[in-house]
Amino acid sequence: MDTERHVRLFRNGRNQALRIPREFELEGNEAIIRKEGKRLIVEPVESTNRLIQILKRMKPIDEELPLIEDPPLEDEDIF
């Protein structure tokens, strides 16, 4: 696959747009766009379902977690 391709920019209403060639298509239907200097970076949005799937495959932890003391903060006169 080529890593570079010349594309044309066009107007879509008040927005500037470009067609993404098939070889550069992103999965899903959402992306994040950010500007770094003169470059525009477009990245696919990671599916939140991936985390859910990973958590479903994990085995429960059988060990007891240690008790952590977290006493309330003492009042402090700041005036």
**pTM of the full predicted structure?**
0.51
Q: Is the pLDDT of residue 1 over 70?
A: no
40 and 32 Cβ atoms separated by less than 8 Å: no
- Domain positions in the chain are 28-56
Retrieve residue 12's tokens: 């879509």
DSSP assignment of 12-53 equals: ETTEEEEPPPGGGPPSSS-EEEEEETTEEEEEEPPPTHHHHH
Query: What are the tens digits of pLDDT across the range 42-73?
Result: 998 877 677 777 888 899 888 988 899 888 88
